[in-house]
Amino acid sequence: MCAAEASLKTMVKSNIAKKRAVAKRDSDSEYALRRKQLIRIAAELFQERGYAATRPLDIAKRAGLDRASLYYYVGGKEELFRESLGDIVELDIDQARLIKADATLAASERLRQIVAQLMRGYATNYPQMFVYIKEMMHRIDRDTSAWGRKLQKVTRDYEEIVTSLIEEGKANGEFNPDLNTMLALNALFGMVNWTHRWFTPAGKLSHEDVARAFADMFLHGVCRQGPHG
């Protein structure tokens, strides 16, 4: 590509970006509705094919657009993914903080509610959260953008909340004092996050069923209690 062609391409992209910025300010317009549709379509394709394998052209085709028209609505598939998450992770951590702060409940009950809240969030915001867990979470630590730093903080805060509840349970006699807190933390999140491989809101098990079973297994184990328990 010659310098003149490259310059023209840059100018076209810049003009599209300017038009997109102006149109986005009108949140009640047909344009805003189209963007929401594209965000939903992108989330579905990311879940079906994987984020890396999904091309902007794939999103455009499913939406009935050509690739050039797609860029009038969004800057690319990364923007679509970030907007599909929106404020989900921040709302989730806010709920977790409220659960932790409820001193009227035992540490074990608050952990049970944390598991329920996580599964409820995954079901309500399906498939966006599962796409994030499956394809993005392991790369977030290297993301230096404001978006990446926000998600890093949410992850740390969530881990600190669960860690503090495990430690509280150990200190007050609810949990085995010899319990390895880090192993317990990783076991809990590993169990819940692995649901991205098999859980769907329309499946045989509801998110309440899954949360209840996971919490029971985590808090009580799977061995029958008795003389040899």
CB 70 within 8 A of CB 56: yes
**In this predicted model, what pLDDT tens digit does every residue of 181-201 receive, in sequence order?**
999 999 999 999 999 999 999
Gap between the Cα atoms of 103 and 110, Å rounded:
9
Give the predicted TM-score (pTM) of the model: 0.79
pLDDT higher at 169 or 139: 169
Residue 134 has pLDDT above 90, yes or no: no
139-156: average pLDDT: 88
Question: What are 218's two structure tokens?
Answer: 């985590």
Gap between the Cα atoms of 18 and 14, Å rounded:
6
**In this predicted model, what pLDDT tens digit does every residue of 84-103 receive, in sequence order?**
887 888 889 999 999 999 99
**Of 125, 152, 146, which Cα lies nearest the Cα of 43?**
125
Question: What are 157's two structure tokens?
Answer: 């805060």
For 18-32, 43-57, 173-187, 206-220, which range has the lowest pLDDT when averaged over its residues? 18-32
Gap between the Cα atoms of 129 and 7, Å rounded:
39
Name all domains of the chain by residue range, CATH numbers in brackets.
8-84 (1.10.357.10), 86-220 (1.10.357.10)
Gap between the Cα atoms of 159 and 181, Å rounded:
11
**Of 138, 149, 227, which Cα lies nearest the Cα of 189?**
138
Per-residue pLDDT at 82: 87
Gap between the Cα atoms of 134 and 123, Å rounded:
15
Residue 1 has pLDDT above 70, yes or no: no
For 97-101, 119-123, 148-152, which range has the lowest pLDDT when averaged over its residues? 148-152
